[in-house]
Each structure stands twice: as structure tokens, then as C-alpha cells.
Structure 1
Amino acid sequence: MSERDALQGFLDKWRAHWPEWAVAETFLPATQRERAQAWLALRGELMDAAWGGDDPTPGAAKLGWWTEELEGWSRGARRHPLGQVLQKLPVEWRALAGGVPALRSSRSPEGDGAATLRGLQPFAHALANASAQLFGAPPVPVSAMAEALLAEWVLHLPERGVPAAGTDVPSLLAKPRLRGGAATERIQAALVRGRLRRTRRGRPSVMPPLVTLFAAWRAARG
């Protein structure tokens, strides 16, 4: 398998999980679309490792591997196919690696929602800065990025047999939609909110094309 084939495999894996992006990417410049896909695929790999599956052990090992990989990217080395798109870009990859322990700890947060958000903030801060560097946009406020991450955390709960309906989804949906930062982040946050709404109403989580079109257009406008 060529390096390009390996990269495409990871992009296809991510797109299979988020088919809404076939519509949503219309609102990004064509020159940013592969970069956005690779970035969201990287985020997806980290979050799936942190929050997915019944047993946390494989995910913890994978996060350890990713920490080493991101630190390698900061030195000009790469092993993962997503590095073909991302590694050479002017991003502080070591700082993103430094946020991974907070992501690992968020699998089973303790305390109330406010405590959960505080626990996510180190990773949210690193993620917001990396996204700003990737897309040449102001960073998303850390508190807003942490809230967006918490919404994605809720979407992962059913994988562990925990119904999302048992969490405070209405409170999450009542928060203002993500503003500022890169259009990629705003669109992804809008798709997450859309899936949460559908899950709460007992509908299939994947958003239909017309619903996706409106949500992505609104988010891309800022």
C-alpha cells in the first residue's frame, strides 16, 4: 500500500463516521478541504481512543502512542499517514501532545458539569491553538472549545452503554453556538449539536443533507 493509499484510508474512515461533511465542506475553500479532513480525522482518532469502547486500556495505549507521534511531528518525524498532510504545517504539535493527558482523564470525569469542563480545558486550549495555527484564524475561546468537546464526549457515551439521554443534553444545547475561530471548527461544532438534537428526539444521529446544508451554512457565516 502506498503512503497516499494509507492516508486516504484514514480520511475515508473519518468520512464514513461523519458523512455530513460531503455536504458541509462546500462552505470551505477548496484549498482547505483536505487539511480540514486530516485535522478532523486526527481529532477523531484522539477522541475515539479516549472515549470509545467498553475497555479503556487499548485507548489509553493508543493515546500514549499518539503523544509520542505528535512530539515526533514537532521534530520533523512522522509515522502516521495523517502526518503527510499535517506534520509540516506550522503548528506547535508538542503543545497538542501536552494536552492529551487531560483528554485521557476526561473518559470518566468526576464531579458536576463545571468540573468536567475544567478538566477538559488543557486539551481544549491546545486544540484551539493548533486549529488557529492550521487555518490562520483567531483561536476559539478555551471555554467555548471545552463546551464543544463536552458535546462530542456525550455523543460517544452510547458506545460504552451509557445513554446520552441520561446526561444534561438540554443544557449543552442551550449554550450559544460556537463562534470565532476557523470555519472548520464552527461547522464541526454545529454538526455535533445537530446530532445531539436528533439523538435526544430519538432520531438517527446522522443529519440529512438539507439539514446539514443549513447548519453548515449558518456555522460558516460565523
Structure 2
Amino acid sequence: MTTPTALDSFLDKWRSRWPEWAVAEVFVPEDRRAATLAWFALLQEFDDILNIAGDPLPADAKLGWWGTELRDWSTHRSRHPLGRLLEPVPAPWSALADALPTLVAARERPADGAAALAALAGYGGAVAAVEASVLGGTPPQAQAIAAQVLATRLAEAGLQAVPQARQPGDADATAARERAQRDWAAELLAAWPAKAGGSPARRMWGAFARHRLGRFAQGHVPQPGRQPLGLLWRAWRAARG
């Protein structure tokens, strides 16, 4: 029996949130699987910083640390376990570091859907540029990345993630709060490019995220990992492009 490593803890955390990947991973070339998992786990770290509940100061300090770490990756130095897999890849790491502070501003409730997407446009573009180096293929669309980040924020933060324009008039009414969140989910789906580009791995992850968001918009509770045959079909279609 092997002892879990620090790297394993980050990878397993991402896998636990995306059990669909157990089905999809077969469509990723074996020699790219480790880097793919590490990259997605890194993005989850940034999602967690964006969606922090309570005092944001520790998360903001962590974000600053990540900025330094990513700049060090540009000179092939790393301290974080994920860097062992990602730092050797020549990528615009410093540009991604420069985009991280926008996550702090993105915690503020936007005026409307357009403002929510615009707040993450720079971050989405920086992620797309690095991802093309890490995963190969063409960069995914920045708006698709922003939409996926906002979908995750909705799942984590609930009504707090809904733009001001869609806030319920009666904030104390449960039905109104739920409807506002479903309406925002539907707006995000409409803004999310159906053909978002990127590597097969990104397309599969995006397909799973879109499916969850669609279920939520329809008033259903997403049940990740259920119906493996459906997951396999969804992954295969997304991998094919």
C-alpha cells in the first residue's frame, strides 16, 4: 500500500468534485493524463479562492502567493506539488499570474451578466493561453472559460453569485431565490459558446460542467457520476469535437 503524497491530495480533491472524469479519462492520451489532472486541479485552487466564504484575507494572501509561484515557474522553479508536473511546461505562466488579482474583484456582485463575464475576460484569456501549452491543441475560448468559472461560482456561492439585475425582489422568499439562481444558470448557458474549442480534455470537462448547469437551470439537483453510459456518450462526443 502506497502512502498518499501532497500531490495526490490535490488531484484527489479535483477527482472527488468531478467523478465524471473516471469515465472520461480513457479519451485522454496516457502520457497527458497526469499533466491534465494537475492543470485542472490548479484551476480548482483558483476557483476556491474566488468562492471563499467568510473572511477573504487568507484567500487573498494565498492568491498573492500563487502569483509569485507562477512567476517562478517561468524560470523553472517550483515549491507547490502541482508545479512538479506543470512547471516544466513552457507556458505564459507570468501572464496568468498577472491575471489572478481579477479574481478578487470578481467576488463583487456584478451589475448584470455581461459585467460578470467581462470581469473574468482577462483571466479567461490567460487561462486559455497557458492551457494550450499544457494540454495542446488550440486555446479554448476565453468566454467559455469565464462561463465555466461562473457556473462553479453559482454552485458554490448560490444567490451571492447572481448578478444584481437578477436578484429577487423578495429576497426572503425561497421560491424567488431559487428562480433567480435558475434564471442566471440559463443566462450562463446561453452565453457559453457551444463550440468552445480547446483540447479534448477541456471539451469533456466543459461538457460535464454544462450538463450540470443545464440540470440546475431546469430545477433539478445535479447528480455527478450517475448514469455512466450517458457520461461515456457525453465524453466521447466532446472528445471528438
Q: Note whether the superposition's TM-score is higher than 0.5.
A: yes
Deviation string 1:52-110 (CA, Å, 9 cap, x unpaired) is: 32332222121111111111111221111001100111111111101101122112242
The Cα of 1:142 is off from its aligned counterpart by 2.3
Q: Which one is further off, 159-168 or 108-117? A: 159-168
User: Which moves more between the two structures, 33-42 or 161-170?
Assistant: 161-170
Give 1 or 2 for the bigger CA radius of gyration: 2
- What secondary structure is seen at the aligned counterpart in 1 of 2:76? coil
In structure 2, the partner of 1:56 is 56
| 2:145 is the alignment partner of 1:129 | no
Give the SS at the match of 2:120. helix
Aligned residues: 221
User: Partners of 1:50 and 1:164 in 2: how far apart?
Assistant: 22
Aligned to 2:118: 118
Name 2:197's counterpart in structure 1: 180
1:91 maps to 91
Contact 1:190 1:219 in 2 (8 A): yes
Q: Structure 1 61/166 Cα, relative in aligned 2: closer, same or farther at 3 Å?
A: farther
Aligned pairs for 1:182-197 (under 5 A) are: 182-197=199-214
Mapped partners of 1:92, 1:160: distance in 2: 32
1:206 equivalent to 2:224? Answer: yes
Letter in 2 for 1:77: R
Matches within 5 A, 1:11-26: 11-26=11-26
* Higher mean displacement: 189-198 or 83-92: 189-198
Provide, for residues 166-196 of structure 1, a one-character-per-residue CA deviation record: whole Å limited to 9, x for no partner: 3311122234424311112111111111122
For 2:53, give the aligned amino acid: G
Residue type of the alignment partner of 2:10: F
Deviation, structure 1 residue 12: 1.2
Residue identity matched to 1:113:
G
TM-score for the superposition, normalised by structure 2: 0.83
Contact 1:49–1:58, Cα closer than 8 Å, also in 2: no
Residue in 2 that maps onto 1:149 = 149
Cα displacement string for residues 8-36 of structure 1 (whole angstroms, at most 9, x for unaligned residues)? 12111211121111111121111111111
The CA deviation at 1:165 is 5.1
Unpaired runs of at least 5, structure 2: 163-176
Question: How many Å apart are 1:37 and its aligned residue?
Answer: 0.4
Alpha carbons of structure 1 residues 116 and 141: separation in structure 2 relative to 1, 3 Å: same
- The match for 2:168 is none
**Take 2:115 and 2:146, find their aligned partners in 1: how far apart are those partners?**
11
Tell me the distance in 2 between the aligned counterparts of 1:16 and 1:105. 28
Q: CA deviation at 1:160?
A: 6.7
Shift of 1:155: 2.2
**Aligned partners of 1:147, 1:68: CA distance in 2, in Å?**
26
Is contact 1:99–1:123 with CA below 8 Å preserved after alignment? Answer: yes
Percent identity reads 41
Which aligned runs of 4 or more in structure 1 are off by greater than 3 angstroms?
158-165
- Is 1:169 matched up with 2:185? yes
Flag the 1:161–1:103 CA change in 2: closer, same or farther, 3 A.
Answer: closer
Out of 78-87 and 151-160, give the one that drifted further: 151-160
Secondary structure of the 1:72 match is: helix
Which SS does the other structure have where 2:12 is aligned? helix
Instruction: Give the RMSD, CA atoms, in angstroms.
Output: 2.4
